[in-house]
Amino acid sequence: MNILLTGATGFIGSRLARRLLVAGHRVTALIRPAGDRWRIRDIEPSLSVLEGDLCTPLTLRGLLVSIRPDLLIHLAWGGQLGAPAIDNLTALGSSLELLRLMPDIGCPRVMIAGTCFEYDQSEGELDEESPARPHDLYGACKHALFLAASHFAELAKIDLIWPRLFYVYGPGEDPRRLVPSVVLALLRDRPAPTTQGEQVRDYLHVDDVADALVAIVGKGCSGAINVASGSTVTVAQVATLIGRLLEKPELIRLGALPYREGEPMVIRAGTRRLREEVGWNPRFDLVGGLTDTIGWWKTRIPAA
Ligand SMILES: NC(=O)c1ccc[n+]([C@@H]2O[C@H](COP(=O)([O-])OP(=O)(O)OC[C@H]3O[C@@H](n4cnc5c(N)ncnc54)[C@H](OP(=O)(O)O)[C@@H]3O)[C@@H](O)[C@H]2O)c1
């Protein structure tokens, strides 16, 4: 397939780009001219790179019109970790502009990354039919995009695939997130402060996420579909396991940080669609996934 990919320089996009190339697809990556390409340096020659910014829709139309992709995979999103929350509004606006270009450039299928933060997280197990009740601007903008994209897709006769990602970890993750922050602290022989760690989460290795997205496309599914492992683990278990794998359990400091205000305590993913309709199961268990991630970080810190 001829695939147009946004967010290819990001954590998930860079791994998905690799996976798509291996599967034999032609990948056109829309990348900001000033974007940092460190995650895709090795595969850049195999990608067809289009330099452009989603926030300039007029220029974008001119750039995209010659591509005629079979599928758009839209992962780009500003407004995440460390960015001002207001950037979510910009990401929502630019995503809508991108979407509206799809009929003009003859693109019949669109996959856009959704999130578990669209759901009402007080609901227990979250499946695709669970009620939406985003509790922050990120979740609200993602869900607003889902609603608008669903109606637009029907109108424009476009097929919309909306994978809802839960917690993703693995090589290349932002070092401020839980897994890399603990791994990096321990590799540097420093204490790793965490919360008490009672939060229940569903973690999936980034290569499994990429693999699941490719499987969903291959199966021809549409609509919302949870992308998660289907297993839960507490934050304390994740941190403790990293301590054990690196043989430095004494550096894990559970309870050194307070919980974030309003932090949901239990996020459990229903994965029936992914398992039964797509027939997909993860390759990594948590031990394997964390071992792989630690190995990757060791190559980034040669002294460790
Ligand atoms: N990571 C998770 O655990 C998780 C969970 C649920 C959902 N998701 C969703 O999955 C998607 C990918 O997440 P991620 O963790 O891979 O994000 P990420 O590492 O922050 O990457 C974001 C990507 O978006 C690009 N981007 C941002 N603004 C842009 C613009 N105006 N024009 C063009 N590109 C732009 C960035 O390009 P630059 O390199 O130029 O900045 C980067 O490639 C996002 O939609 C996110 O909401 C992620």
Q: Ligand 1 centroid vs 222 CA: distance in angstroms?
A: 22
Tell whether 92 and 156 lie within a shared domain: yes
Check whether residue 137 and residue 186 sit in a common domain. no
Paired strand residues for 28 = 4, 48
Same domain flag for 255 and 125 = no
**Residue 250 lies inside a defined structural domain of this protein:** yes
What's residue 123's pLDDT? 76
Residue after which a domain boundary falls, among 143, 165, 187:
165
Q: Are residues 10 and 139 in the same domain?
A: yes
Residue 210: inside a domain: no
Q: Which atom of ligand 1 is nearest to the CA of 116?
A: 6
Work out the angle at residue 280's Cα, subtended by the Cα atoms of residues 274 and 284, and round it to the nearest 5 degrees: 115
For residue 200, give the 3-state DSSP assignment.
strand
* Nearest protein Cα to ligand 1, atom 48: 165
Statement to judge: residues 129 and 66 lie in one domain: yes
Q: Which protein residue has the closest C-alpha to ligand 1 atom 9?
A: 113
Task: Please indicate, yes or no, whether residues 182 and 141 belong to a single structural domain of this protein.
Answer: no
**CA separation for the pair 110, 103 (Å, rounded):** 11
User: Which pLDDT score, from 0 to 100, does residue 130 have?
Assistant: 97
Closest C-alpha residue for ligand 1 atom 1: 168
Q: What is the pLDDT of residue 57?
A: 74
pLDDT by residue (tens digit) across 31-76?
A: 999 989 999 999 999 999 999 999 987 788 888 988 999 999 999 9
- Would the CB of 249 count as within 6 Å of ligand 1? no
Q: Are 131 and 123 in contact (CB under 8 A)?
A: yes
168 lines ligand 1 (CB under 6 A): yes
Question: What pLDDT does 302 receive?
Answer: 61
The residue behind tokens 């430095």 is 248
Which CATH number goes with the domain that contains 257?
Answer: 3.90.25.10
Summarize pLDDT for 136-156 with one digit per residue, the tens: 999 999 999 999 999 999 999
**pLDDT at residue 303 in the model:** 53
Distance, CA 255 to ligand 1 centroid (Å)? Answer: 30
CATH of the domain at 31: 3.40.50.720
Query: For ligand 1, atom 18, which residue shows the shortest CA distance?
Result: 10
Positions in the chain whose pLDDT score sits under 50: 304
What are the residues facing 167 on neighbouring strands?
203
pTM over 0.95: yes
Structure tokens at 22: 């291996």
User: Could you tell me if 153 and 7 lie in one domain?
Assistant: yes
pLDDT score at 110: 98
Q: How many CB atoms lie within 10 A of CB 261?
A: 5
Q: Are residues 145 and 24 in the same domain?
A: yes
Q: What's the domain count of the chain? A: 2
Same domain, 62 and 183: no
C-alpha dist (Å) from residue 268 to 127, 131, 153, 200: 9, 14, 29, 7
Residue having the nearest C-alpha atom to atom 40 of ligand 1: 35
Please name the residue ranges forming H helices in the chain. 11-22, 57-64, 87-101, 137-156, 178-187, 206-219, 235-245, 272, 286-300
> What Rg, from alpha-carbon coordinates, does the chain have?
19
Assess whether 18 and 150 both reside in one domain: yes
Region label for 62, one of left (φ > 0), alpha (ψ between -120 and 50) or beta (otherwise): alpha
CA of 76 to the centre of ligand 1 (A): 4
- As given in the structure block, the two tokens for residue 70 are 């079979």
Q: Which residue puts its alpha carbon closest to atom 24 of ligand 1?
A: 76
Q: Is the dihedral of CA 85, 168, 108, 69 positive or negative?
A: positive
Ligand 1 atom closest to the CA of 142, numbered from 1: 47
Tell me whether residue 183 is in a domain.
yes
* 178 and 123 assigned to the same domain: no
| Crossing angle for the helix pair 286-300 and 235-245, to the nearest 10 degrees | 60
Please indicate whether residue 37, judged by its CB atom, sits closer than 6 Å to ligand 1. Answer: no
Shared domain check, 244 and 114 = no
Q: Three-state DSSP class for 194?
A: coil
Ligand 1 atom nearest residue 81's Cα: 20
Percent of the chain that is helix, strand, coil (3-state, to 5): 40, 20, 40
Assess if residue 72 is contained within a domain.
yes
Residue 243's domain comprises: 173-203+231-269+284-300
Among the candidates 165, 194, 217, a domain finishes at 165
Distance CA 302, CA 304 (A): 6
The answer to whether residue 50 is domain-embedded is yes
